Structure 1
Amino acid sequence: MLPLNAFVVWRERSAIDWHGVRWVAVTRVAATPLGLLVLTAVPANRLGLLIGAATVLAAIVSLVAPDFHPSRGAFLGAGAATAVSETATGVGGPPLALVYQHSPAPELRSTVAASFLLGEVVSIAVLLVRGIGDAGAVRDAAWLLPALVVGLLLSSRLHERLDSKRLRFLVLVFALVSGVVLMVS
């Protein structure tokens, strides 16, 4: 995810909502230890169910909620939820994507990528300090690089064709599917 998010941040850097990124980052950094606590305290068979159910519920509420512009509270909540869910399960996207679901497509993509990039570095550092993860995981992830390159090339041709309405629909589908996959696994 690090190379993917770095690429999106670079490609759409002019659309990043730095105000939102700052608030998400503050909470993201502060709440990452809580994600580690959840990872170690909640049994693995319950962890996916807990975070998956919260993600599905948030997506369903988003389907019926009116349009909104995120406030500081939404950024702080998304940062905390992302810190816990990404550190504990590796799935941190839905909370941030839901906060930016009504934003223009370039802003959503770039801001979420910038927030992820910071958060991924923090989560990886915390997990490594605690002895969770190793060089083998990096080697395994390297096998995904060819697919990442293909995806980046395709996205470079398609990203401007995806308007905000379609992107919002895909964000909600992504959140629902992510939540269900976490609950089932």
Structure 2
Amino acid sequence: MAFISTIDWPVIVLAILAVIAAGAVQGSTGFGFNMVAAPVLALIDPAFVPVPMLLLALFVCIVGAIRERSEIDRKGLTASLSGRVAASILAVLCLGLVDQAAYSTLFAVLVLIAVALNLLGLKVDANPRNLFIAGGVSGFMGTLTSIGAPPMAMVYQNAKGPVMRATLSAFFVFGAIISLIALAIGGQVTWTGIGLGLLLLPFAMIGFVFSNWGRLLVDKGKVRIVVLSVSALSAVLLIVREFVF
């Protein structure tokens, strides 16, 4: 982690604030941790994705799933995880085929696609077929870019708040583990990545504490616009960095 010493303190503070905000959003909605934190941290250094972000999301989702465990949709969880396993392996194969510049651009484009899917607000029934497909798409995007929430969130967008939060949190617990295993098999997991994740973990948990109040805002629809706005802006900045600087 020697590169950390070359980062200015204002940048480090920005990374910490992004992770705190992401923890609060994740705990409030059941998704959005990586949509908020990953684009911002990727601008600071690409080493923050995907492994560190997956580790952070894993721990935050564990706490979220435990908090509302009685509301988990277990049948839906099984169907969606089945799709995620195969897609995660495919994503690892794709990850090794692109160079850093192409990876960053692809990352930004997928973020914008994720935002567009949310803005469309397509209503999809939470049946086994759709959950399998959503789990697969989520697994592919999550492993490749650390952002896999939109497909699953779209399927559960009509569910009650506690059901959505608990089920999505449980899905991302298992999903993050699957993705990390797939990345490890592909040689993408390093001690540097693990160290970066653990370094930011306390701040992610601080953010999660704030979600005790943030859940009240979810019913009023105020969190969603923040997630989409920050994600879209960060993706645009990432594209600008690749083509301008």
Q: CA deviation at 1:32?
A: 1.2
Post-superposition shift, 1:65?
A: 5.0
Equivalent residue of 2:96, what SS?
A: helix
One-letter amino acid of the structure 2 residue matched with residue 107 of structure 1:
V
Structure 1 match to 2:62? 6
Q: Deviations over 1:5-58 (max 9, x none)?
A: 000000111222222211110000122111111111244433454464455345
Tell me: CA distance 1:66–1:121, structure 2 relative to 1, closer, same or farther (3 Å).
closer
Per the alignment, residue 19 of structure 1 pairs with 75
Mark the CA change 1:179 to 1:167 in structure 2 (over 3 Å): closer, same or farther.
Answer: same
Q: Deviation at 1:120?
A: 0.6
Aligned-residue CA RMSD (Å): 2.8
Give the Cα separation in 2 of the matches to 1:74 and 1:184. Answer: 35
In structure 1, the gaps of 5 or more residues are none
* Native 8 Å contact 2:117 2:150 kept in 1: no
Match of 1:80 in 2: 136
In 2, distance between residues paired with 1:179 and 1:101? 24
**Do the aligned partners of 2:110 and 2:141 also contact (CA within 8 Å) in 1?**
no
- What is aligned with 2:171? 115
- Residue matched to 2:146: 90
Deviation at 1:90, TM superposition (A): 1.6
Q: Could you say which residue in structure 2 is the equivalent of 1:135?
A: 191
Are residue 163 (structure 1) and residue 205 (structure 2) matched?
Answer: no
Change (3 A) 1:142 1:21: same
C-alpha separation in 1, matches of 2:237 and 2:165 = 22
* Bigger shift: residues 69-78 or 45-54: 45-54
Q: Is the 8 A contact 1:98 1:172 kept in 2?
A: no
What is the aligned residue count?
185
Q: Deviations over 1:90-142 (max 9, x none)?
A: 22222222222232222222211111111110111111122212222221111
Measured in 1, the distance between the counterparts of 2:194 and 2:86 equals: 25
Counterpart in the other structure of 2:86? 30
**More moved, 59-68 vs 16-25:** 59-68
Q: Which shows bigger deviation, 15-24 or 55-64?
A: 55-64
How far apart are the structure 2 equivalents of 1:60 and 1:92? 14
Q: State whether residues 25 and 115 of structure 1, in contact with CA within 8 Å, keep that contact through their aligned partners in structure 2.
A: yes
- Does residue 101 of structure 1 match 2:157? yes
Q: Distance in 1 between matches of 2:75 and 2:229?
A: 26
Moved over 6 A (4+): none
Distance 1:23 1:52, change over 3 A: farther
Q: Secondary structure at the match of 1:144?
A: helix
* TM-score, normalised by the number of residues in structure 2: 0.64
Comparing 174-183 with 123-132, greater Cα deviation is found at 174-183
* Amino acid in structure 1 at the alignment position of 2:153: A
